[in-house]
Amino acid sequence: MEFSTGFGWTRLPLAAAFIFGSVLTASAQIIPPFSPAPAATAPDEESDAADAPDVNDPDVLKGIDVDKLDWGQLAIDAGTLNDIIAAKKRAQAAARDGMDWSSNANANGSSGVKVKQSVSSFWDTRVGADMTVAKEPTTMSELLAQKAANGGNLPQSSGSAWAAATAPGAGPVWDKTAVEGRIDPGSEQSKIGASLTKSVPLAGDTSLTLQNGYSVNQQGTTALPGIAGRTTRNYETDQSAKVEITGTGTSVTAGQTLSTTDDKWLRKFGAEQKLFDNVTVSGSVGETSQGAINKRLTAGFKKSW
């Protein structure tokens, strides 16, 4: 490759020195910018001059080593800032809309596992599953203990899937509509139901909540040799009224239930009292289809974090 210039190879350093010297001469002849003399302070500007920083003002940087400050944190452009904000919003959405897992140990050694996830913010649609996971015995003693606790059989894992949605009501008639469907493939059982809720404020910090529920339960039977499987449906409706006193943490509920398998309304009465943070005690008394009275008293602790 050959390169040629009008000065020739031997004269190229002299030409470069001549150009560099011309640039230095021109820069030395540049006149510095004119700095006007400070204008006289008008009488009405004396108050502004009084607010100017004074040498006697406290030093806000006292005790701070300026040389150790990381000024590079300020070297960020608008595009990078937008990317950081967008990434933070995506992380918050993933944490809010991600799957929510919870589990608890049962007395027979199995574990109850629940999982749910929000599908859409429209009508607050959610899906989930409730599962019972049986523990596999590792020793013969565990095998015998599990059989003894379950009537001679090993506990089996099971589970059901569900979907739920909460929709607004119909003006002054009711406030909220809730729809839920559940299916249990292991027991061939499914259920779909809806409830209508109306809240009415009473005197003081007391409120009344009325609820009507409707559900359809379907139960299937496994086909056996010579016997065809069949499906039965049970229709059920329930009505309840709940009075809640917010200041004392007390609530009283009264309701009744009617289904196609019963020939009369079954009434139920219950109360709940909040003792202190996250601890409640509840009791209920209800009728059964056999005519006996079902009594129940429970205490619960609930903590979310």
Domain-located, residue 259: yes
Domain-located, residue 102: yes
- pLDDT band per the 50, 70, 90 thresholds, residue 39: very low
Structural domain including 101 reads 95-159
Number of helical H runs and strand E runs in the chain: 4, 12
Q: Residue 53: what pLDDT?
A: 57
Identify the residue with better confidence: 248 or 41: 248
Phi, psi of 251 (to 5 degrees): -140, 140
Q: Looking at the structure, do residues 253 and 282 belong to the same domain, yes or no?
A: yes
Cα–Cα separations (whole angstroms), residue 280 to 112, 185, 224, 249, 300: 22, 34, 47, 9, 5
Q: Residue 24: what pLDDT?
A: 42
Q: Residue 79: what pLDDT?
A: 52
Domain boundary (126, 159, 192) is at 159
Domain-located, residue 88: no
Q: Looking at the structure, do residues 213 and 271 belong to the same domain, yes or no?
A: yes
Domain boundary (115, 137, 159) is at 159
Tell me which amino acid residue 30 is: I
Which two tokens mark 302? 């609930």
Q: Looking at the structure, do residues 207 and 260 belong to the same domain, yes or no?
A: yes
Helices (H), ranges, the chain: 12-28, 46-50, 78-97, 140-149
Q: Looking at the structure, do residues 266 and 186 belong to the same domain, yes or no?
A: yes
Least confident of 91-100, 111-120, 248-257: 91-100
Query: Residue 4, Cβ neighbours under 10 Å: how many?
Result: 7
User: Across the beta sheet with 100-105, what order do the strands follow?
Assistant: 100-105, 111-120, 125-133, 158-168, 176-184, 189-201, 206-220, 231-245, 250-259, 266-276, 279-287, 293-301
Q: Residue 6: what pLDDT?
A: 42
Number of domains within the chain: 2
Tens of pLDDT, residues 143-182: 787 777 777 777 788 899 999 999 888 878 889 999 999 9
E strand or H helix at 183: strand 176-184
Q: Looking at the structure, do residues 274 and 195 belong to the same domain, yes or no?
A: yes
Query: Residue 251, Cβ neighbours under 10 Å: how many?
Result: 19
Domain boundary (159, 188, 209) is at 159
**SS3 (DSSP) at 122:** helix
According to the per-residue pLDDT averaged within each range, which of 31-35, 51-55, 95-99, 131-135 is highest?
A: 131-135
* Residues in contact with 21: Cβ distance below 8 Å, sequence separation at least 6, in sequence order: none
Q: Looking at the structure, do residues 206 and 303 belong to the same domain, yes or no?
A: yes
Domain-located, residue 266: yes
Domain-located, residue 36: no
DSSP state of 11: T
Least confident of 59-68, 173-182, 242-251, 260-269: 59-68
Instruction: Find the mean pLDDT for residues 248-258.
Output: 94
Q: Looking at the structure, do residues 175 and 269 belong to the same domain, yes or no?
A: yes
Percent of the chain with pLDDT over 90: 31
Instruction: Find the mean pLDDT for residues 180-203.
Output: 92
Least confident of 76-80, 136-140, 175-179, 223-227: 76-80
Domain-located, residue 234: yes
Q: Residue 30: what pLDDT?
A: 41
Q: Looking at the structure, do residues 116 and 173 belong to the same domain, yes or no?
A: no
Phi, psi of 89 (to 5 degrees): -65, -40
Q: Looking at the structure, do residues 185 and 149 belong to the same domain, yes or no?
A: no
Q: Looking at the structure, do residues 111 and 192 belong to the same domain, yes or no?
A: no
Domain-located, residue 184: yes
The whole-model pTM stands at: 0.55
Q: Looking at the structure, do residues 296 and 243 belong to the same domain, yes or no?
A: yes
Q: Looking at the structure, do residues 191 and 263 belong to the same domain, yes or no?
A: yes
